[in-house]
Amino acid sequence: MAWDIRKILLPTDGSPLAELAIEPAIDIAKQKKAEIVALHVTEVPMSIVELDLRNEEFKFKEPIENPLFKIEEEAKKYGVKVKKIIEKGPVMEKILEVAEKENVDLIVMGTKGRSGTKKLLGSIADGVITYGLCPVLAVREKKLFKI
């Protein structure tokens, strides 16, 4: 029985560790002819983001500063379609909400993000794995095991 993957959610905060998930997500999307739903969740406005108070939407001042830009550019090289979504609110909840709303078949994400604190962002990946309604591929940084 084949596993039908039509949509892959790829959440990112733009950090190098979150970007480790881009290549596996694109590789799977390419093989399965799936679409990537690239998601960036902002909890508070950042200096590179403008907030439109009329509709509370975030807009990046420069396209290159948008963490979804790299995903889109890389996916284009392989003919993979990307839908970009920017949300604001609690990160784990928004990832789960978008996954359900977009009816994704797989979530591919890094295990750590910008803060570098395993407790905070590790718990986001843990929460998505625990509470998500679809399989999750958690991509981590390769480290040599030392005794």
| CATH code (residue 102) | 3.40.50.620
pTM of the model: 0.80
Question: Does the residue 67 lie in any domain?
Answer: yes
Range of the domain at 61: 7-139
Question: Does the residue 1 lie in any domain?
Answer: no
* Mean pLDDT, each 10-residue run in order, the chain (147 residues): 88 89 97 97 62 49 69 96 93 96 97 52 82 93 66
Instruction: Specify the pLDDT at position 118.
Output: 44
Instruction: Specify the pLDDT at position 106.
Output: 98
Burial (Cβ within 10 Å: 0-12, 13-18, ≥19) of residue 88? middle
Tally of structural domains, the chain: 1
Instruction: Specify the pLDDT at position 42.
Output: 83
Look at residue 106 and give its three-state secondary structure. Answer: strand
